[in-house]
């Protein structure tokens, strides 16, 4: 019985001690970005690249980015370019993670090697490299590294619109432009008006341009008549699976059975649209677009409909 009590006491002490260590480790917060190192690249370019990297990590992560001043005070002018030094520096800064980067020139290319150290668990959790074809492309490279660090995954796993590298545009079908043209097909399902007809076939032509978080364009459609509208959509992601939500305003001339009779009803009118859908393969030169929309035409028939289309941009 005494031996069991002694065993319980030992386990309790170990458990309590482990909990204390975990609590102490969890008090660490923030990420430290070590000064970028290179023996061949202009220090001004390094300083600019580091500033972009710190800014992007701050935008993408909820973690606090430890100030350059605090890091420089701890380093005191010493060079820190390996994980062992990063771990020691991270403990002194009370940081949760430490990022180190080294830039090397190889002909006209710049190889950016980086590593991420988890200070709490005292191990390297990420090591990778990205190739820049020019000094100017370092801005895009820093954005890719920032996303890689925040997601803790290799840089080639986080290709997004806006951070595609020049060498990646040379790959088959990889995206190089934000201008799109395409066709989509589907059906119009009447909700009101349309002579209470059944569904009708739809063909749409898209002239589309994408910005950072928005897409805007012109749609020409054969939709139980003829439609033209200007649309804009909010893009929720920059990845290959991109949901969106938007609206449109334009003009719709709707075909009705009695348009050639002697009635005074107008079949044409301005049209309001609310739409939602998804763009698939968003970082490639072609995208599959799946779209669902509600349309209300301001005419004497009060035509209203649901339109579902699938197409390629």
Q: List beta partners, residue 222.
A: 203, 226
For the chain, the helix, strand and coil percentages under 3-state DSSP, each to the nearest 5: 25, 40, 30
pLDDT tens sequence across 96-118:
999 999 999 988 889 999 999 99
- 138-151 vs 43-60: helix crossing angle, rounded to 10: 40
Say what the pLDDT of residue 187 is: 95
Same fold: 27-158 with 179-312? no
Class of the CATH-defined domain 27-158 = alpha beta
Q: What is the pLDDT of residues 213-245, one digit of tens each?
A: 899 999 999 999 999 999 999 999 888 899 999
Strands 241-254 and 225-235 turn out to be antiparallel
* pLDDT given for residue 7 in this prediction: 44
Q: Quick one: which of 165, 206, 151 has its CA closest to 183?
A: 206
DSSP for residue 134: S
By DSSP bridging, strand 31-33 and strand 97-106 are parallel
Q: Token pair for residue 78? A: 């010493």
Bridge pairing between strands 288-297 and 268-280: antiparallel
Joined together, the tokens standing for residue 220 give: 């020409």
Tokens, residue 106: 């190889």
> Which pairing describes strands 214-223 and 225-235: parallel, antiparallel, or unpaired?
antiparallel
pLDDT digits (tens, 9 = 90+) for 160-180: 666 666 666 555 556 656 889
The interaxial angle of helices 68-75 and 83-93, nearest 10 deg, is 110
Q: What's the pLDDT tens digit per position in 238-264? A: 888 999 999 999 999 998 887 666 677
SS3 for 206-235 is: EEEEECCCEEEEEEEEEECEEEEEEEEEEE
More confident position, 18 or 267: 267
Per DSSP, the residues of 123-150 read: EEEEEEEEEESSSTTHHHHHHHHHHHHH
Residue carrying the six token digits 């070590």: 34
**Residue spans of beta strands (DSSP E) within 2-45:** 31-33
Domain boundaries, the chain: 27-158, 179-312
The whole model's pTM is what? 0.61
Spatial contact of 244 and 278, defined as CB atoms under 8 Å apart: yes
pLDDT at 244: 96
Could you tell me if 71 and 97 are in contact, meaning their C-beta atoms sit under 8 angstroms apart? Answer: no
CA separation for the pair 109, 166 (Å, rounded): 12
Report the C-alpha gap between 249 and 272 in whole angstroms.
Answer: 5
Coil, strand or helix at 125: strand
> Sheet harboring 97-106: ordered strands across?
31-33, 97-106, 109-118, 123-132
Give the angle subtended at the CA of 225 by the CAs of 191 and 208, to the nearest 5°: 95
CATH class for the region spanning 179-312: mainly beta
Report the largest interatomic distance among the alpha carbons of the chain, rounded to a whole angstrom: 106
Res. 19: pLDDT tops 50: no
Tens digits of residue pLDDT in 126-150? 999 998 888 888 888 999 999 999 9
Pair of tokens at residue 172: 């088959």
**Bridge-partner residues for 179, per DSSP?**
209
Q: Kindly report the CA angle at 182 between 177 and 183, in degrees rounded to 5?
A: 165
């Amino acid at each position: 019985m005494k031996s069991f009590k002694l065993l319980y006491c030992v386990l309790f002490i170990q458990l309590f001690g482990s909990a204390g260590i975990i609590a102490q480790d969890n008090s660490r917060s923030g990420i430290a970005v070590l000064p970028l190192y290179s023996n061949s690249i202009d220090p001004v370019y390094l300083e600019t690249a580091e500033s972009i990297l710190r800014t992007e990590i701050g935008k993408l992560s909820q973690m606090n980015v430890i100030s350059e001043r605090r890091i420089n005070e701890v380093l005191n002018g010493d060079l820190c370019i390996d994980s062992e030094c990063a771990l020691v520096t991270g403990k002194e800064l009370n940081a949760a993670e430490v990022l180190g980067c080294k830039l090397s020139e190889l002909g006209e290319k710049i190889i950016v090697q980086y590593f991420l150290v988890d200070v709490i668990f005292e191990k390297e959790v990420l090591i990778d490299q990205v190739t820049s074809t020019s000094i100017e492309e370092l801005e895009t490279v820093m954005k890719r590294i920032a996303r890689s660090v925040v997601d803790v995954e290799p840089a080639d796993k986080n290709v997004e619109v806006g951070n595609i590298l020049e060498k990646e545009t040379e790959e088959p079908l990889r995206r190089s432009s934000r201008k799109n043209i395409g066709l989509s097909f589907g059906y119009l399902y009447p909700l009101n008006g349309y002579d209470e007809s059944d569904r009708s076939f739809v063909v749409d032509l898209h002239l589309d341009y994408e910005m950072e978080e928005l897409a805007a364009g012109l749609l020409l459609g054969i939709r139980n008549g003829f439609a033209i509208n200007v649309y804009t959509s909010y893009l929720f992601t920059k990845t290959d699976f991109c949901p969106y939500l938007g609206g449109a305003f334009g003009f719709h001339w709707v075909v009705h059975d009695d348009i050639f009779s002697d009635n005074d009803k107008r079949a044409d009118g301005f049209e309001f649209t609310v739409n939602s859908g998804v763009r698939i393969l968003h970082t490639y030169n072609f995208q599959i677009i799946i779209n669902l929309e509600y349309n209300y035409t301001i005419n004497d028939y009060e035509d209203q409909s649901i339109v579902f289309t699938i197409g390629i941009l």
